Amino acid sequence: MTVDDATLLRTAADRLEHLAARTTPGDWRLGGLLATRPEVVAHAPDGGTEHVAEARAWTGAWIAALSPALAAPLTAWLRAAAGAPDPHAVEVARTLVQRLP
């Protein structure tokens, strides 16, 4: 049985949304004392912080899901969206540009 593209897109979005909901929340930032072993710290809106490594059970699946395997399709989507900007693609691009060197 073949799944149509719309169903595939909705399924992927649902799974990503579900995974994000159970992952350590907040604005993740690199920190730490050793450049070779940076820490990832989640900064919550209330000012609290949590080392993502301390919540590994919640974040491991997120890290694995958003592995470098997504780079090619994500960059292709962003380049395609540049022809007819989609507000969601623009928001993804804005977030990436703010976070990537």
- As a whole number of angstroms, the distance between CA 47 and CA 36 comes to 27
- As a whole number of angstroms, the distance between CA 1 and CA 30 comes to 43
The dihedral of CA 40, 73, 5, 95: what is its sign?
positive
- As a whole number of angstroms, the distance between CA 88 and CA 20 comes to 17
- As a whole number of angstroms, the distance between CA 74 and CA 93 comes to 10
Q: What band does 60 get if pLDDT is binned at 50, 70 and 90?
A: confident
- As a whole number of angstroms, the distance between CA 40 and CA 6 comes to 35
- As a whole number of angstroms, the distance between CA 77 and CA 71 comes to 10
pTM of the predicted structure, to 2 decimals: 0.69
Q: Where do the domains of the chain lie? A: 1-66, 68-101
pLDDT of the residue at 34: 65
Please state, rounded to an integer, the average pLDDT across all residues of the chain: 83
